[in-house]
Amino acid sequence: MIERFLPLIFQICDRYIHIKDDHSSSNNSIDFLQKMYKNDLHIAMYNRQTEFKYLRQLILDLMPIITPKFIYECKGSRNFLRELFVCQILIDGIDAICHPDTLNHLFHLYFTTAIQPQSDLIKQSHTYVEILSHFCAMNGELHKNHLAIELTDVMYEKELMSQFSRVLDCHGSLGLLSIYLSLTDILNDIPLASDKLVRKKIYNRLKHIDERYLNPENDQAYIIISNPYDKEDKLIDEIKNLIYYDLEESINDNNEIKKDFDVQHTFTLLSKFHCKIYELIEEQYQRSFLTSDEHFFYICGRRMDSPNYKTKEQKYVIEGFYLY
């Protein structure tokens, strides 16, 4: 303690005081640590991304030691266990241990045990420690659980979006995604709907959605959106009324009676329709995509029971026959 630990503590305090007194020093926790430790700062301390990368590689290096051979040789098992250890155990554990209150309490316990009886160790220290808070400041966004991808992440990632579209197509729900994307563009145009040309564009896109996906006579692409058991659910009727009454009349050049177009009502109604479509897509996402081969392949690689799954020199014995 005296020869090794205390000199390090004094060295850290000395660096901290000098950097803190430097008025040109940045308030950013990452810059602060880099100025303070310079080349002594561990690579995992630079940001959350490098920390994840370091921990993932560490787990992969330890995998042959801590797991049986048949698990380590399976790519899916390796990736699954790596993400499980890193995202669910190590990161949360490191964050908990490095919390200022936890470290302060550990120091308090260490120094009080040597000079106080066991009966006096009930009280805990909750004193705020400024120095420790700098080392534990979040240096990036909170980590995401890579084993449970959010639908919003899927929507904005090209590779995942392609796989999600394939799953929706297999379940006959690809039209939901098409409606959602069209409505997203339409909602962006609504603030400019006072312009007649913009209203014509909105009208044509909504009419296309109605004729293709909301028409019961189109058996190939028709999608049931309203709840048939809920008499109060008249969303689709309101959408059709918006298309063929409000919008159509507002762009009709032959209409002698000019009706004012209610932009706010249109935006509110289409936003409600947009949210309804998102809920239906989310239902398909939870029920179909998260259990699909596409999602499993993105997270862990090919399934072991997939016909395309094969590792080098993999061999199974079934009833006396060798399968390679």
At residue 121, the pLDDT reads 45
Task: Supply the pTM of this predicted model.
Answer: 0.49
At residue 204, the pLDDT reads 92
User: What residues in the chain have per-residue pLDDT under 50?
Assistant: 121, 128-144, 257, 309-324
Q: In Å, how far from its chain's centre is CA 127?
A: 35
At residue 206, the pLDDT reads 92
At residue 137, the pLDDT reads 43
Q: State pLDDT tens for residues 143-174.
A: 445 556 678 778 877 878 888 888 888 888 88
At residue 160, the pLDDT reads 81
At residue 254, the pLDDT reads 65
At residue 25, the pLDDT reads 57
